[in-house]
Each structure stands twice: as C-alpha cells, then as structure tokens.
Chain A
Amino acid sequence: MATGGQRRIDIEDVGDVTVARFIDKKILDETNIQIIGNQLFGLVDEDGRKKIVLDFTNVEYLSSAALGKLITMDKKVKGAKGKLRLCSIRPDIYEVFAITKLNKLFDIRDDQEKALEGF
C-alpha cells in the first residue's frame, strides 16, 4: 500500500533527520487525511526512517481525524525506537493540541531549527 495519489508532504533530509513538511493548508478532508496518513506511515514502515520532524508551517486547519493520524504516527515511530518532533505550529492549531492535551503527548518545538537541535 504505497502512498498513492498526489504527494502531500515534502521530504527533506537534514543529516540523519527527515523533515516532512505538510503541503496542504487544510488537513480536513477524510480522503486527504487518509493519503497524508499513509504517506507519513510510509516514512517509518517502508523507508525505515527513525528521526522525523513534522513541519506544520503551511497548515492553517487541522481536524480531529488528522490528530488521530498523528497519534498513530507517534506510536509507529516510538515502536521503531525512533523520535518524532512537531514544529512550526501556528497558535490556532496549537490550541487544538492544547485543548486535547496532545501537547503533552507530542514533542513540539517552535520552529524547524529548534526541532533539529540535539536530535
């Protein structure tokens, strides 16, 4: 079950860290979320990447279904003894994480530079 469909994340390798930047402004639509989820999971399941930064610079909207995919991603990375960090989350979106207390589950950094520090 390869990623299928249009690419929804940009991948950049910084040293041994994979920076995955969401392309979409809105991570809302069910189909979209499914594709994004599969592309994210592929980084771990297929590519065997273990140090991953998810960059939210472009993301303006995010639904609870997308949070579900992020939680699953976090589990996958931890299961592979890797590390996942999130960065560049705008205040509105950060509130979504804070309300659901997922800011405690995820390792969230202000920006990409900080996310790469000491990784």
Chain B
Amino acid sequence: MFQHDLFTVSMSNCEQFQITIKNDTVAGQQVQERIVKILEDLGYPPRDVFSVRLALEEALVNAIKHGNGMDPTKSVQIECSISQDLARIEIEDEGEGFEPEEVPDPTDPANLERPCGRGLMLMRSFMSLIEFNDSGNRVTLEKKREQASENGDGDASEDESS
C-alpha cells in the first residue's frame, strides 16, 4: 500500500505528485532522487538542486526519525509540485509535531559543539520559504528558481497561471 502515487500530473513544464512512503530513510532517499531528477529535467541550476536536496534530506530525516520516531508502522506523506519557477514540497509525518521556535540555536557558542540541531537552520537558509502547520508535523518547503544573472532573452513569463 505504500509507495504508490495517489496522483501524478505530468505536463511539459510542471510535475506534481503525492506519495505515501514507509517510515524508512531508504524510501526517503528514493523520493529525494525522484524530486532531484525532476528539477534537473526542468533545467534548474545546480545550486538550486543542491539546496532542495539538502533541505529534503533534513526534512525527511526529521519526519522519519524525530516525527515518527523510527516507528516502522508509521508513514510519511509527501506532496510535490514543481513548475519552471517554483519547487514546492510538503512533508507530513504522523508524530505529535514540535515547536520550531523551541529548537535551540545551534550557532549559540554554548551549543556549537552539540552534534545535533542544525537541520532546521540549513532548511531555512537554503530554501526560499519554510513553514510548519500549527501542530508542527507538516513542513512546507519552497524554492524559487534562481534567476540567471543575465536577464534571459527567452520567454518573459509574466503571466500568472494559478
């Protein structure tokens, strides 16, 4: 029952899918690879791909380890929507959630040598947006495509298609 897409939409310049995976980091890696492949196929710059992969790794490990407490009977739900300009990924675990504000600042000198607590900070730094739902068991990650330094002479995508 796991690993099957609940839906998949695939158009020339937009990919969407929703999937429920078992609570296992290997399954998480597979989704990560799938999303990275979509970004690469859509021509996202390597720097964006790096950022999304890093944030995904952190978010999935958080969901599997901390949210679901490595419980093999639990699952993680992932919703992904990637267009030419924006990658949006939502990850939800079955845990009780947490208060992001209560995570200690890992750059505080008192915490600098503690070997954990950096994932959240990396997600914030590398993504355009990171948001949690009220209960803290669902994270939304967004990465806007980095614009090339020169204003591309291609299509000026001014139109909003929402």
Contacts and interface: CB of A to CB of B under 8 A. Distances in A.
Interface of A: 28-31, 60-61, 63-65, 67-69, 71-72, 74-75, 92, 95-96, 99-102, 104-105
Nearest to B26: A29
Dominant SS among interface residues on chain B: helix
B54 A96 contact: yes
11 contacts: A61-B57, A63-B54, A65-B61, A67-B118, A71-B113, A92-B47, A92-B50, A99-B121, A101-B106, A104-B112, A105-B113
Nearest to A67: B118
A71 B121 CA distance: 17
Interface residues on B, range: 20 to 34
A30 B112 contact: no
B29 A61 contact: no
Nearest to A68: B115
Contact of B57 (A28, A68, A74, A75): A28
Contacts of A102: 112
A100 B50 contact: no
B105 to A, nearest CB: 10
Interface string B15-52: 00000000001100100000000000000000100100
Given A64-B118, A74-B113, A95-B125, 9 more contacts: A28-B57, A29-B29, A30-B65, A64-B117, A72-B115, A92-B47, A96-B122, A100-B106, A101-B106
